[in-house]
A and B are shown apart, each in its own frame.
Chain A
Amino acid sequence: MVQSLDFLKESPSQTAGPYVHIGCVPEFAGIKGVYPDQLGAAMVNDKTRGESIVITGRVIDGSGTPLTDAMLEIWQADADGLFNSPAELRGTADPNFTGWGRQPTAGDTGVYLFETIKPGRVPFPDGSLQAPHISFWIVARGINIGLQTRMYFGDEKKANSEDPILNRIELNTRVKTLIAASKGNTYTFDIHLQGENETIFFDI
């Protein structure tokens, strides 16, 4: 006999369901006055350092229909590549940037939109630099466990070509599903749950 490892099992996931808004973005569900603010709605203020950008897009199902009941969260470094987190031991991130955002997809068009700043580069564990990227987490009715992916920037061709994660993807043809198209300061990042352009989702 040996000792038991005694690890617990993670609580199993369940879908966020169609009413996730009540708990996470109550004002969107029409519930006003319970909380003073909506968490994750504002990532920046007028003192935030860096290049202001807009990230917008849709979450599209296997029939090509945008989801009107999804919720997205994003997490990213500040303009200098530092995270506003206790686990960031390399320095102090911009106090005027939260790094975390939460938005529903619109109830009619299915479009989501984040106002944020372009992140700086952050290191890979081997010390090389990752291309600028934003971590995404997507939940909705019909999604049994939150989907993890990353958005990279279409106007960062050189950094993207050096990125240790993008270079690890065997199916090169699918890399484009992680790269947002840029137009001015707006980046469009559609997330395809299925189909020819299915986004690469991570187990990370």
Chain B
Amino acid sequence: MKNTQPETGAFFPRDRDWHPKAYTPGYKTSVLRSPRNALLSLGNTISEITGPVFGHDMLGERDNDLVLNFAKPGASAIGERIIVHGRVLDERGIGMSGVLLEFWQANAGGRYRHKKDNYLAPLDPNFGGCGRAITDENGAYSLRTVKPGPYPWPNGPNDWRPSHIHFSVFGYGFVQRLITQMYFEGDPLIPLCPIANAISDPEAIKRLVAPLDMANTIPFDARAYKFDIVLRGRRSTMFENRPEGN
């Protein structure tokens, strides 16, 4: 840990043209769930720049190992064994330590362990589909899992989600909170996906596609994919107006 005070600068504003818009009719569920009024733009106060801390001591040994964390003793999840790893950075390129990442995904057949998922593909008795990690001092994280399968979903008459892993990311300030999805290099379903295409800028979609990483692939065991995540950066507090004076 660095022996310096935590940063308290306001976060950079979000680029709302880079993120998906609220109303994206190609993704039908957004139609009734998208606010129609303009967002109210405000500067950060202490309510926004603060956030809770998650300690490494809360993690169990297998929290980031979806191959084993729901499996019976001696068993493991069915599917293509993969490792996903990367760093959490802020927009200034600074590695962020202590960031809580939570993952969830379908099993290798494209089925979620959730009461609302009734897709034909079977559940895997040894796969739960959730995991979590906290970034190390350089902002790095990793998880081991099986590659999730694509699955059909009721939107258009024949829509299929590309293989993806959901990521929930908790940075330092409550307004850095982010949920996103990781896709896999080379998946032909990505350009067809109404949810990926809710993002209008193709460059932005690319940031969610993890490349195959042969350098970190473990021979005869598991392929690796690299997925970096960027959270909002923040202003330096130099020359900031302060109520107590400068």
Contact = CB atoms under 8 A, between A and B. Distances in A.
Given A89-B5, A127-B243, A12 B233 contact: no
Nearest to B106: A19
Given A14-B181, A14-B208, A85-B52, A204 B44 contact: yes
A76 B46 CA distance: 10
A75 B52 contact: yes
Instruction: Tell me the dominant secondary structure on chain A's binding face.
Output: loop
Contacts of A194: 32-36
Nearest to A202: B40
Interface residues of A, number: 83
Interface of B: 5-8, 12-16, 18-22, 24, 27, 29-37, 39-54, 60, 63, 69-70, 89-93, 102-104, 112-117, 128-132, 166, 168-169, 172-175, 177-181, 195-196, 198-199, 204-205, 207-208, 229-233, 241, 243-244
Interface of A: 6-24, 26, 29-31, 33-36, 39, 61-63, 65, 67, 69, 73, 75-77, 83-89, 98-100, 107, 122-127, 130, 133, 135, 137, 139-148, 150, 165, 168-169, 174, 193-194, 198-204
Given A9-B15, A11-B178, A18-B114, 12 more contacts: A7-B93, A10-B178, A14-B166, A14-B180, A20-B168, A22-B113, A34-B130, A75-B50, A75-B51, A122-B45, A137-B174, A204-B175
7 contacts: A8-B92, A19-B104, A122-B45, A137-B177, A144-B27, A194-B35, A202-B39
